[in-house]
Amino acid sequence: MSSPSIHSSASKTSSIPAIASYFGTKGRYEEVNKYLIDDILAINTSLVNLPSPECREVHLTAIIRHGTRFPTTKNIEKMRQFHMVVRNASLNLSGLSEWKMWYTQDMDGRLVEKGREDHRHLAQRLIAWFPSLLNRESLSGGRVKLVTSSKHSLPQSIN
């Protein structure tokens, strides 16, 4: 019996694990988990199976990225510079000359409504998947602990 591999079967020589696509910070959750496009609350039960029907969940650890957010100050500045190039260009760039640059420095990586929805939906899926661990009793009894880094996009994602 061979052990499961986390590396893509497409390339046996690749040093990039197949699981790496789940850890990007630029794409939407739905891009990695295509089944969510049709049903945002769908649960892919093939990801985790208990070894026996007599087993039950006793602990859950999850590493969850921030939700969808505005660009960072660094990227807003790059867009502002590009915006100026486009505005000053004498070429007709298919409507780009009317482009309004509306990002501001104060948006720096802040969570957007889509990011809040990302995590509300994720919470609903986790509650449905692990009802014995994630319920009102566990929450009010202090048995659920959320830990985050201090980067401003992450505490916003917990709220």
Tell me which residues are annotated as active site: 66
Whole-angstrom distance, CA of residue 127 vs CA of residue 132: 8
Residue entry with tokens 């660094």: 74
Q: Which residues pair with 69 in a beta bridge?
A: 111
Whole-angstrom distance, CA of residue 33 vs CA of residue 14: 22
Whole-angstrom distance, CA of residue 133 vs CA of residue 141: 11
Q: Is residue 36 within 8 Å of 44, Cβ to Cβ?
A: no
Give the tokens for residue 154: 């992450």
Closest CA to 71 of 153, 158, 148: 153
Longest dimension (CA), the chain: 71
- For the chain, the distance separating the N- and C-terminal CA atoms, rounded to the nearest angstrom, is 44
